[in-house]
Amino acid sequence: MKIGLFGGSFDPVHCGHLLVAQAALEELGLDGIVFIPAAQSPFKAGCMPTAPTVRLRLLRLALAGRPEFQVEPLELERGGISYTIDTVDHLTRLYPGAELLWLIGADHVATLPLWREAARLAALVEFVVIPRPGFDKVEPPNGFRFHWLHGWPLGVSSSLIRERAALGQSLNQMVPEAVAAAILSEKLYQGSATR
Ligand code: ATP
């Protein structure tokens, strides 16, 4: 079993995230991808994310009908700051014998040496890096192992989605239809443009 682990705030999930997952699935022949929404990212300490229930619901809407894409709420249940090493330790026990690959966008490469227990993390998992507009293809930091994918680089971010939702602008083609409909009907991200 070869499983992709995809952590993030997913606040909200958008088509860039889905293309990351699709690229990893196809290019590495993964058996599945587990989306792991963070309770609180260590790199976004000053920002209060949207309620876990909302982010989880939108994620489930986005992944509906794709059994190879699963959602694992363990970081939300654990609460506090979400450290990848804790999650990897947990999932290593949950999927004994599986090859675990941690997916990141190219913007996260430079931060890797700052992740908690970086050396142990680098020894435990290989990283899969998906290009993101504005971020060059660089060598892995010391000790880290990478697969660089081709993907389909897309300049969409959750910040952009929050900004557009707050301004009442269309989210069409940037998030799945069901996610756009939920954001609109539940009036989500109305006052969060600057987060
Ligand atoms: P924000 O704009 O709030 O910082 P974000 O769009 O970067 O959010 P996150 O949920 O923080 O989304 O990202 C989770 C993971 O997905 C990270 O590894 C990030 O690099 C990656 N990612 C997000 N959007 C893209 C994209 N458009 N292309 C490639 N990787 C992406």
Distance set, CA 46 to CA 41, 42, 167, 195 (Å):
10, 9, 23, 9
* Separation between Cα atoms, residue 36 and residue 76, nearest integer Å: 9
> Which atom of ligand 1 is nearest the CA belonging to 155?
27
pLDDT at 22 > cutoff 80:
yes
| Average confidence (pLDDT) over 132-157 | 94
Helix pair angle (177-185, 52-63), 10° resolution: 150
What is the average pLDDT value for the chain, to the nearest integer? Answer: 95
- Ligand 1 centroid vs 89 CA: distance in angstroms? 23
CA distance linking residue 188 with residue 28, whole number of Å? 35
pLDDT, tens digit (0-9, with 9 covering 90-100), for 30-50 = 999 999 999 999 998 788 899
Over residues 14-32, mean pLDDT: 97
Q: What is the mean pLDDT of residues 155-169?
A: 97
Two structure tokens written together for 120: 């142990």
Going by alpha carbons, the residue nearest to atom 30 of ligand 1 is 105
Q: Ligand 1, closest atom to CA 157? A: 6
Residue 138: pLDDT above 60? yes
The pLDDT, as a whole number, for residue 194 is 43
Q: What is the mean pLDDT of residues 174-194?
A: 89
Give every CB contact of residue 82 below 8 A, 6+ residues apart in sequence. Answer: 7, 38, 39, 40, 41, 42, 75
Q: Which atom of ligand 1 is nearest to the CA of 38?
A: 10
CA of 80 to the centre of ligand 1 (A): 20
Q: What is the rounded distance in angstroms from the CA atom of residue 33 to the CA atom of residue 102?
A: 10
* Residue whose pair of structure tokens reads 């014998």 in the numeric block: 97
Rounded distance from Cα 7 to ligand 1 centre (Å) = 9
Predicted TM-score (pTM) of the model is 0.96
Name the residue with the closest Cα to ligand 1, atom 28: 132
Closest protein CA for atom 22 of ligand 1:
105
Per-residue pLDDT at 195 exceeds 60? no
Ligand 1 cavity residues, CB under 6 Å? 8-11, 16-17, 20, 104-105, 107-108, 130, 132, 154, 156-159
Average pLDDT estimate for 133-159: 94
77-98 pLDDT, tens digit per residue, is: 999 999 999 999 999 999 999 9
Is the pLDDT confidence value at 62 over 50?
yes
Which domains, ranges and CATH numbers included, belong to the chain? 2-154 (3.40.50.620)
The pLDDT value recorded for residue 45 is 79
pLDDT at 182 over 60: yes
Cα 8 to averaged position of ligand 1 atoms, centre (Å): 7
